[in-house]
Structure 1
Amino acid sequence: MTKALWDAWLGRLSHISQILLCVFSAWALYYTVIPLYKIATLEETIAQREIELKSKNLELTTAKTAIEAANVELYVIKRNDYLRNMVSGDLLECTEPQLFALEKFDPYSVVIDRVYSRCINESFNRTKAQKHLQEKDYKYLSRSIDDLKSKLIDMREDMIRDMDTLATRARKDKTILEPKGPSLQKVDELYRSLGGTLLTEEEEFDQAVSRTMFKMVMDYSGTVHSEILKLRSINWAD
C-alpha cells in the first residue's frame, strides 16, 4: 500500500474518531451529566418543599395553639357566666323574703318551713350543671354545693335551738334581748304622754322576745344569703 493511501486512511480514521468521540461525549452527557443535574435539581426542589412544609407545620401548630387557647378562654367565660347565673338567678331564689305574705309573722315558722339546704339542692339539680361544665369543674362545684348544704343544715339546727331556748335564757340574762330602737322609744313616750296604759313587765318581756326573734331571723336569712353568694368566688382547679 502506498504512502498516499496510508495517509488517506489515517485522515479518514481521524475524522471517524472525532465523530465517535462526539457521539461518546453526547452519550456520556445524556446518560451521566444530565441525570446528575436532574437529581441535583430534584433534591433542591425537595429541600425547598421541606422548608415550606416545616413553615406550614409551624403555622398550623401556632394556629392550633391559638384555637386551643381561645377555646379555653371561651369555656372560662361560659363557666363564670353559668356560675353567676346559677347563684344569682337560681340559688338566691331560695332566700327571697316571704315574711310579709304571712297574716301574722311567726319567725319560728319561717325557720322551720324554709329548709334552705333542700331548696339549694333542688335548684342546683335543675340547672343541669353537667351540661355546662367540664367533669372536673362539675365535681368541684358539686362538692362546694354539698359543703354549703351541710353548713346551712348546721345553721338551721343552731337557729332552731337558739329560738327554742331564747325565752329561758333571757329570763336569766335579759341583756341578750334586742333593745327598743329610737322609733319604738318615741312611740312609748308619746303613748305615755297621752295617758295610755303602760305594758306590764311580762308584756314588755314578751315583746322583747319577739323583737329578738325577728332580729335573729333577719340575721339568719342574711347569713344564708351571704353564704350562697360566696359560691360566686370559688377557686376553680384550673
Structure 2
Amino acid sequence: MKYLLPLLALLPALAFGQGKDSKTICTDERLLQSDTLKKSGILLPVFKHYCYGDQSGNYVLYLTEKQDVKQGEEKLSSAVEAHLLKIEADKSLSSIASIRDKVNADEAGMEFWSKLTEISDIDNDGNMEPILVYRFYNKDEAKIDHDAFSGRIKIIMFYKGSKVVIRAITGNLDGERETTATGNFFALPASVQKHLVKKMTGMYKDNLYGFDNSYQFVPRKSKGN
C-alpha cells in the first residue's frame, strides 16, 4: 500500500523520502498499534495514514472509515473521521485538528478519495498544508453511482491551525450545482486559493466531479460565514 508522505524534517524513528510532495511509506509501526490509536481517540478503522514534517515539527494524519455499508460489490461508510496529530519529541501524539462527518438519511454512503489527498507547502512558508477530499454518493439499489454529476463532495484543508471547508453539490443542470466555502477560505493567501480552485478545475476536466463553473470554479461564501 502506498502512502503520501511529504516532509522537510524527520524524527529518527521515521523513514521518509525527500521532496516538497513525495510519496513513500511511513515505517513507524507504533503509529498503527491499537494502544496508540486508542489513546489518540481514533476509534474507526484506519484507511490510510500519512506522516510528514515541516519547520514546525512532525505530524501524522489518519484517515478512518467505518466501512459498514455494502453497496453492490463495493463497501462505503456511514461515517468517516480524519485526525491530525503532532509527533512530539518523546514520540507521544498531541491532537492538532480533526474532522467527523456522516451521511444523510437519503445517501448510500461516503468515502475518502485518497488519490486526491495532498500534503504540500503551497505558499512556500515552510509549513505543509494537508488537503483531504471525500465524497457522498446517492442511493442506487444495484451499485455505487460514480457519475460525476451525482452526489456531493467536501474538500478540507488544514491551514495554520484552522479548517477550511469547501462544500459542493452537483447535478445535470447548471442551476443544480453549487460550490461554497467557509469564510476563512477568502482570507487565505492568493496562491492557496488559486491552488484549491485549480484542484477543482482539474477534477472537473478529468470528469471526476461536476463542480459549478459559473464563477470559473471559485466557490461562493457559505451562508452564515
- In terms of fraction of residues, the more strand-rich structure is 2
Q: Which has the larger radius of gyration?
A: 1
Q: Same fold (TM over 0.5)?
A: no
With normalisation by structure 1, the TM-score equals 0.20
